[in-house]
A and B are shown apart, each in its own frame.
Chain A
Amino acid sequence: MEKIETIVDQKEASDKLTATKTATPVKEVVEISGSQAVLEAFIAEGVDTIFGYPGGAIMPIYDAIYDYHDRLKHILVRHEQGGIHAGQGYARSSGKVGVVFATSGPGATNLVTGLADAMIDSTPLVCITGQVFAHLLGTDAFQEVDVINITTPITKWNYQITDATEIPSVLAKAFHIAGSGRPGPVLIDITKNAQLQKFNYSGYKKCTFIRSYRPKPIVRKEYVERAAQLINEAKKPMVIFGQGVILGKAENEFKAFIEKGGLPAAWTILGLSALPTDHPQNVGMLGMHGNYGPNVLTNECDVLIAVGMRFDDRVTGRLDKYARQAKVIHLDIDPAEIDKNVKATVPLWGDCKETLPMLTALIEKKQHKEWLAKYNEFTQKEIDIVIKDELNPTTDELTMGEVIKVLNELTKGDAIIVTDVGQHQMVTCRYAKFNETKSNITSGGAGTMGFALPAAIGAKFGAPHRPVVAVIGDGGVQMTIQELGTIMQTGIDVKILILNNQFLGMVRQWQQLFHDKRYSFVDIESPDYVMVAKGYRIEGQSISKRDQIKDALSTMLNHPGAYLLEVMVGKENNVFPMVPQGCSVAEIRLS
């Protein structure tokens, strides 16, 4: 995503970009195929990695990529869902647009879960699907699926190309839409005839403007001033931040803002890693399994400043009892988010890369020492009742938390940690340490089990110099375990940490707490993961004793290449604190 200060600058910058970066400058008209035009577009857009799976309707593109293998890396996944999750992982670790190929019919429908996930988590993707010949559209042809209609609600934009001459301009639009404003997935469906069709190509021109599309709303100064005034008058201000800070590349601006105002800042699960874990004003995680302090104090603060977050129901708990006492300042780039769930006192539309510095300039330098100390009091209580036993258990059973604690000690907070969905995800997000932004990759809004393994592969391709650890439960890993094949074939260095509690743990926890312990289909068996990994020529081991944790994790991290470590943890441990469904955030339970 390009981040440009003013619109005038944007024009100049884009002129410069087209002048210097276009792969095939407009010098002469050459005849190329639609397929080649797709790949030329990728090169012009700076794409280096594609995740995909071939098939009948996308064969012309795969034929063309044969000649581009020196400029474009194609990763053959084992399933299109794995492909799109890898694309998401790539986008999230690199900050670039992820690119995915799939064929028509089942290839395209296998992308659906990933598209929905990317849509709700605002991940920039350009997915190219093959489609049957244009003259066969609507005839129930072999592997024909109406992918445009299927994906309309889960794409930021989608478009079907039936004529090759449209390819350069449509792909330029696709990359612009996917990466700008509030990012999201774009799907381009290209019929086979368009891929094969030769046409006169006169170069690729990046798209920077679409008249009906306003990626960045205009910031209104009077709202900035009103927000600053509220913050200056506040006795108990609280900041809650989401992925908007990361997507807006505004981590430094955010830090400057909270430091000047002396503001405590709590994060949503996707906002995690935008602010280092150790930052003294980082007061922890919001929501259902978040920390005690930020949840309770949400209902005590006088001014609530929401930055790049969308008040998901997992964050707010019961909405009519959420922060009723507070004046709410909502910073968001997407106007549709303002007032959607929580009514804003001051709606601060705009790119937070612009609005945060404007706010920082107007707020007084302050330290809310007493107010911050209050968070610490709650933290102490949470340590005594929950965290102590989770990180330093006295029973024989291993806890997920103690594994993450040792992982922190070994990675020192420098790894990218990719999590799946469930108990292990909550525990990892609660306890993992992060120094750097774009280090926490997880499926937040959609809660897609099976996300982590393929996303970790993509994350490693997106940030090849950083260690990548996928933390996965025994349920989720079995959903996309076929991607071990991708790891095997590419030799990508991904560490896989399975926290096995022999249950679908989160559902079991709910059944225990809210359904009288009627454990209905949560007792899931696992294969011998070490043997499975071995079958894919990936080394690994399984441990179940406390004194093995450190050595095993260290072996995993130091192993050259991929490694699978299974840790057998307690079967019926629960994740606390917890805001039960239908309760307010202040009613968070510690046990």
Chain B
Amino acid sequence: MKKEFTITVYGENQIGLLNRIAIIFVRRKINIDSMNTSPSEIVGIHRFTILIDETEEVVRKVCRQIEKQVDVLKVYFNTEENIVWQEMALYKVSTEQIAEKAKVERLLREFGARVVAITKDFTIFETTGHREETDKLVKVLEPYGLTEFVRSARIAIMKSSRGFHEKLKEFEQRAPGEELIENEYLNQRQGVFSM
């Protein structure tokens, strides 16, 4: 059964790594719902957060194929219950409309939106939250003339993770200790793997 999986990849900051990771999905004709690349908790190490809809079996195989790339340090995949995640959205509406309809203002409060810019012509709101929330606000704003809408990729933090600092130390040793058992996936064959 297909489910939503959030994949977290720790990799070296190398040109071309993004492409190397992306084509592993393309090869299996898997659509990437969202992908975010950013610095991680460690200077010089990049973190990719990838959202896909797939069966767990396929996700597991894909993750191993990503982890085997030379410049990738570690890959994790999680279902929604094991992560805390957010997406940010921006909405542009006509200031005239907003100013006239007080109802809108109330709705915005309801959705916890912030105003990030106001000009004579337009106003830009921002929300951060889960997709259902941002989608709802889109629906609500549409009748008032939503000129532009954009949503960021998902970013996620793994609940059970204690960060990558200790792991990295293991990686930097020629002889990794018990902490970094490379058969982690195999120990977790039945459960979804998180850090």
Say whether A212 faces chain B, with CB atoms less than 8 Å apart.
yes
CB interface residues, B 148-180, toward A, < 8 Å? 168, 171-172, 174-176
Bound-complex Cα distance A202 to B31 (A): 47
Chain A positions within 8 Å of B27 at CB level? 153
Please tell me if the beta carbons of B19 and A152 are within 8 angstroms of each other in the complex. yes
> Are A210 and B70 CB-contacts (below 8 A) given A10-B174, A152-B23?
yes
Which residues of B approach A to under 8 Å, CB–CB?
11-12, 15-16, 19-20, 23, 27, 60-61, 64-65, 67-68, 70-73, 168, 171-172, 174-176, 181-183, 185-186, 189
Please tell me if the beta carbons of A214 and B182 are within 8 angstroms of each other in the complex. yes
Q: A212-B12, A212-B70, A218-B182 are in contact. List 10 more A-B contacts (CB 8 A).
A: A8-B175, A152-B20, A156-B70, A157-B70, A177-B70, A212-B72, A212-B171, A223-B183, A336-B61, A338-B186
Q: Is the interface of B mostly helix, strand, loop or mixed?
A: mixed
- Select from chain A the residue with minimum beta-carbon distance to B184: A335
Please tell me if the beta carbons of B183 and A220 are within 8 angstroms of each other in the complex. yes
Bound-complex Cα distance A335 to B74 (A): 13
Chain A positions within 8 Å of B65 at CB level? 336
Number of interface residues of A (CB under 8 A): 32
Please tell me if the beta carbons of B174 and A11 are within 8 angstroms of each other in the complex. yes
Say whether A217 faces chain B, with CB atoms less than 8 Å apart.
yes
Bound-complex Cα distance A347 to B71 (A): 25
Bound-complex Cα distance A480 to B39 (A): 48
Name B174's contact: one of A159, A160, A209, A217 (CB within 8 Å). A209
Chain B positions within 8 Å of A335 at CB level? 64, 67-68, 182-183, 185
Chain A positions within 8 Å of B60 at CB level? 339
Chain A positions within 8 Å of B171 at CB level? 211-212
- Select from chain B the residue with minimum beta-carbon distance to A8: B175
Q: How far is the CB of A506 from chain B (nearest CB, A)?
A: 26
Please tell me if the beta carbons of A218 and B172 are within 8 angstroms of each other in the complex. no
Chain B positions within 8 Å of A218 at CB level? 176, 181-183
- Select from chain A the residue with minimum beta-carbon distance to B189: A339
Q: Is the interface of A mostly helix, strand, loop or mixed?
A: mixed
Please tell me if the beta carbons of B183 and A148 are within 8 angstroms of each other in the complex. no
CB interface residues, A 279-315, toward B, < 8 Å? none
Name B186's contact: one of A7, A10, A210, A347 (CB within 8 Å). A347
Tell which of B19, B23, B27, B64 has the most Cβ of chain A within 10 Å: B64
CB interface residues, A 157-215, toward B, < 8 Å? 157-160, 177, 209-214
CB interface residues, A 327-364, toward B, < 8 Å? 334-336, 338-340, 347, 349
- Select from chain A the residue with minimum beta-carbon distance to B66: A336
Bound-complex Cα distance A73 to B14 (A): 34
Interface string of A107-140 (1 = CB under 8 A from B): 0000000000000000000000000000000000
23 contacts between A and B (CB under 8 A): A7-B174, A7-B175, A10-B174, A11-B174, A152-B23, A157-B70, A157-B71, A159-B16, A211-B73, A212-B11, A212-B73, A213-B71, A214-B182, A220-B181, A220-B183, A223-B183, A334-B68, A336-B61, A336-B67, A336-B68, A347-B186, A349-B183, A349-B186
Chain B positions within 8 Å of A217 at CB level? 182-183
- Select from chain B the residue with minimum beta-carbon distance to A156: B70
Name B61's contact: one of A159, A213, A340 (CB within 8 Å). A340
Say whether A149 faces chain B, with CB atoms less than 8 Å apart.
yes
Q: How far is the CB of B187 from chain A (nearest CB, A)?
A: 9
- Select from chain A the residue with minimum beta-carbon distance to B73: A212
Q: How far is the CB of A223 from chain B (nearest CB, A)?
A: 8
Bound-complex Cα distance A214 to B171 (A): 9
Bound-complex Cα distance A158 to B185 (A): 27
Please tell me if the beta carbons of B183 and A213 are within 8 angstroms of each other in the complex. no
Please tell me if the beta carbons of B172 and A211 are within 8 angstroms of each other in the complex. yes
Interface string of A481-523 (1 = CB under 8 A from B): 0000000000000000000000000000000000000000000
Chain B positions within 8 Å of A334 at CB level? 68
Chain A positions within 8 Å of B189 at CB level? 339
Chain A positions within 8 Å of B64 at CB level? 335-336, 338, 340
